[in-house]
Structure 1
Amino acid sequence: MRRLSELGNLAADAIEGDTVAFISWYTDGRLLTASQPFRVLTGFTVDLLESMKWPDSFGTRETVSLVREAMRALDKGEPAYKGAGVLVKPDRSLVPVQLFIHKYCPGEGEEPYYYSFIVDTTERRQKEDTDRESKELLQMVMDNVPQRIFWKDLNSVYLGCNKHFAVAAGVGTSERIAGKTDYELAWTREEADAFRRDDREVMDNDRPKYHIIEPQLQADGTHSWLDTNKIPLHDERGNVIGILGTYEDITERMRTEEALRQSEEKLKLAVDGSRMGMWDWDLVTGTLTWSDRCKEIFGISRDAEISYQVFLETLHPEDREPVDRDVRNALDHKADYDTEMRILWKDGTIHWATAKGRGYYDAEGKAVRMSGMTVDITDRKRVELALKKREADLLFSQRIAHIGSWRWNKHTGEDEWSDEFFRILGFEPGAVKPCYKLFLSMVHPGDVELVMRDAREALAENRPSSLDYRIIRRDGALRYVHVEAVRMVVDSRGRPVGNFGTIQDITDRKQVELSLEDAKVQAEMYLDLMGHDINNLNQIAMGFLEIALETLPPGSPAVEYILKPLDALKNSSSLIQRVKKLQQTREGGLPLHQLNVGQLLAEVLTMYDDIPGRRITIKTAIDCNCIVVANDLLRDVFQNLIGNSVKHSTGPVTILVSAENVREGDRVYCRVSIEDNGPGIPDKLKKSLFDRFRKGAKKTSGRGLGLYLVSSLVEIYRGKVWVEDRVPGDYTMGVRFVVQLPIVSC
């Protein structure tokens, strides 16, 4: 009974004042816990307590010495200490208190700490003769704190509780709890067993047990979650005589934590889905923690050790110093950290990432932590770099091709010109402000009306514009330009919003076109001269030769001398007619139509049935009746090739004319071959045989003009012509000309 009485006296002493406070602290004064009553008693808020130390920040000099003396005594193994002291409140007012100081020594590797119940003894000193009032005051205090409070003896039999505990236990009032065990209260037997096991552990080990999270069935049938603290109670000699327990109903907190857990899981899913990596850097310990995704972004294995130095070493050498500077600046200036970086993987590949973070600071403003996220932007960066390269390539291409681009914004009235646009106008890029009026002022006066009329009509008809005209640069240089504009760009309501297009410097092309036009005029003049005047002279000469031929007696040696120039004049007239027909064909004057190649060859061959003074053998192998698209000059092609076999040979000659169908890819062609066993053509002449009048070709004699006409006509007919040895590898055995034309039908 004495011990219980002592416990009662102890409790009475502890609640003598207006409140009961509980505080625990480490050897260096750092606070471990400080109860709400303690904060009420001392007048210090939670924020202030974070940076304070016990007892230095709370008591008078004498009280500080008292507490330190008690700590030294407890360190020597002496029993719990009880003593009077004075606390100093923030307003410098003094509070007399009773201190009950204990020491808790945990297991190996854990830091020991001290704890104390602190009672305001201001009023107790005035009423210490009234034990009854003290007990009532204690009960009142316990009944009004939100925590459930109880205490038991060594057998886990309840000695007392506050009213909140009594209601939860189902006994109604605190007076009715004494003498009961957990098995007699509202909770389940399993819960009662668990409660008593914890009691036994605390008392047997003489060691508090904090934050026991456990379920409890309430008297009203509801289930609650508790956060329970149990500490051993000691008599004056330090012997364990029971336990003191407090707990809070944390059901709502648990629900909130569960909701938070689910929210965090959802956040994790979102982070994983967005391919973000999370990181946290403890600046006090230097520990850097990365999520698996973060390590993946940096090309590091999941089990790799991470440090700030390792992080810097993963970066591209050129980015290490700038990124480190960004981190330091963010921490020094308490600013958000936001940077881009290149990551150099071990396989040599470069990856891009963006990192964002924020620093956290202690009460003194010192950075203690930094956390954030990293996102892999390699794909985006590659696209950006590709776009930049394309833009650079476009600018380069525009400069090479002398093509500039422009854009007009109707809403702002502003024009945009590319660099090459400026250069075409004779300006350095950006030297003047782009403006349509400036551009129009540079248009040649003779072309201004044309340009403005075309612009008005294109806008009115909503059509693209394409126009060639002249501009005059500021230095007086005349340039020709080709300007393209798309249709007016309109919004969803059909309202014009702007326009864009290109400008190309075509001065060189225009000068070539003008030169070609002059050359064409001269060529037509020469063709006119040859086709009329020279041909008329040929006709006059042939007329006189034919008259002279008629005056000669038969068998006269002079006949041969007249026949040769007469034949030459006829060939000259025939050639002139062919050139005129070729020109007409190119200009569309002799339209193309369908011709039967077999029939045409048969007609041409009749011309060589009997050639005076020559033994000509003509063989045929015409195995097709092909229809091609050409005109009557195709006859001249075959005549020229067969005639060459006759003219460029001496003595007997055999000519083989063949025609067949051949397939190349998905097209069918008519291939006509004309070969002879004459002197042949050396390989060095074959390459330039058809190029007598092409650009750069040297003047040649013999077959030149006729074969050039053959080649030109076959090209117009969408075919091709070539020459080869009749006997492969031996040109002296004769030559073969091949004409290949696309077939319409057979």
Structure 2
Amino acid sequence: MPVGVAINDLNLNYLYINPTLAQINGVSVENTMHKTPRAILPTIGEQVEAAMRQVFELGKPVLNKEITGQTPATESPKTWLVHYYPLFVEGKIVGVGTVVIDITKRKLVEETLKKSESFLSTIFNSIPQAIFWKDREGIYLGCNETFAKTVGLENSQQIIGKTDFDLPWPHREAEAYRQDDKEVMESGRGKRHIIEPLKKADGGRLWIDTTKVPLVDSRGAVYGVLGIYDDITERKHTEDDVRNSQQMLQNVLDDFPGVVFWKDQNSVYLGCNKAFATAAGLSDPKEIVGKTDYDLPWAGTEADSYRRDDKEVISSGAAKIGIIETQFQADGRIAWFDTSKVPLISGEGNIIGVLGTSHDITDRKHGEEQLRQTLNELASIFRALPDLYFRMKADGTILDYKAGHLADLYVAPKYFLNKKMQAVLPTEAANIFAKALDDIAKGQEQATIEYSLATAEGTKRWESRLLPIEGEQVIAFVRDITERKKGQEMQDKLTRELKSKNEELETILYIASHDLRSALVNIQGFSFELSDSLKMITADCLGLEPQSKAAIELRSNIPESLNFIIGSVSKIDSILNGLLRLSRLGRQRISLQNLDMDQLMSHVLKSLEYKIREVDASIEIAPLPWCRGDHSLLDQVFSNIIDNAVKYRSPSRRLIINIEGRIENEHCVYSIADNGQGIKPEFVEKIFEAFHRLDPGQSAGEGLGLSIVRRIVQLHQGKVWVKAIPNEGSTFYVSLPKAN
């Protein structure tokens, strides 16, 4: 895209104007020199001069100034994007530099695409590029609206004074961006094609192709960095030092992330920028001079096409914009480019060649191809899925549908397309659907409904999920859930039966345990009576021969048998006590209340104080969050777990128990960690089973403690589990509802 450049003195007289701007103004270079804008531009000269005076008053550039009007060269109004830069000599403003770009066509495109997300927000080109610039400390000095939107700012002014660490991306990415900035500023050289991730303000992530170049002041010192990422068009940040316009333009061309080239009337290259030289396999842009497309890597592929376009532009005098074409690169790959060519005009207004600019759109072309493939895949998925899909207006009028099989539809398409869903469905289902549409219209993000429809195969149950989409439309995914509902009903029935059986089993267990215990008391009582009687008989038979059979029976075998009976009775009694506790838990009503767990844990440790002191254990307890539960039952839970830690301590080290708690969502998770014997992996789940003991010979008990713990926690709608390492220790976790 041609760029007009001019320099005016403090009296606003033109000291320099390039041919492009002279052509835009419709006044030759000779007739422009030493005149003011108002003298040569009757309709827009006043706007131009006002902007120049603003530069003198502010002492800084006036950028992105849009001017609409006519010049002697135009028959109808056009729009130009103009940048004004103050020119300094020894710290004093001596004039103003102007850069002018014709954006008329881009403005027309913006008008036609104003209802869609426009990527024409920059003033340099018609492709959405994000541009930003910073000082040497990494502090943002400015950005364009595309960049501002990406980072979640309302406008580009809000970026001033911020750093990468104030923006949405993670700290490690901000560090990487800052490192790239330092590398560019310290080396004084641009860094191109930095492929890196970027996190947007809305949480989405992008991969961006970034180019960074140093910002240089009038003394040649680097004072910051200019960055451009994504699909780059003709947009450059102008250096403060604009006194030498030719050097400024050359810097813009060399640092431009796209490619720029110009040829004579015979399509012989006169020059190019570094990017074009690289693509052509040249080490320096100067090497392009005198070559033709037949001397470059694309000689046998695209050279003829390029030259035809050159000839058309030169012969017609009209620009050719948006040429989508391939290019065989020096590295052997095929790249896609979006190219624009305009006539190259001499100072006398004669066409002397062609100027071309293009940017690499290979990624975009690949993305378009992937999008087409994705759309085809989605179409196939819709055909394969059992769901029906309907697209409707907000009032329920059906615009489109997708169905794997037409037989799945309630009625044929001709009976529902362009009709309201409420008019197609029976009254009851229609009312349900109408309410869901009303909920969506009121801002609800999703509505899920169920309804019944009578069909020739019988009554069917359907589920519809409605979601709003752009354009005040709604999509509905409809699924036949008849079999699922039948399954749910069967599952509910089985659950009720299982609950009944469990209650019946608990009752039987309670009654059986109670009755067995009554019989056991008799056995135990008569065993003690037999023992007392045996002692009396033994005392009366002191005269028996010691080795006689009767003496042996009285003094050895019978007492031993009675001891076995009494021991077994005690064992059975212990088991029955545990079973009774389990059965009572099944019928017990729990009293829920907000519990101060620091207080409850203090009570637990107080009740175990003798055992803890006896083994010289160390208890470390952190502040615990409040939970909701039954005080008495939870006292049992934590008493049992801590008591087990004491029982199964390691003999080789002092026992240390750590008790902590934290809140996770709607639950409190308490952990009791010890450095005891630990548990082998194969026994981690079994320890919660009834009558399971890791080492029956090590300590007394019936093996029901942890079964009772799990049952109590389940009654609280909680969860208990353990993590353990053999010979290192165990950590029991108890999850309970947090306090209201």
Give the TM-score band, short-chain normalised. Answer: 0.3 to 0.5
Q: Normalising by the residue count of structure 1, what TM-score does the alignment of the two structures yield?
A: 0.42
- Structure 2 length as normaliser, TM-score? 0.42
- In our comparison, the structure showing a higher alpha carbon Rg is 1
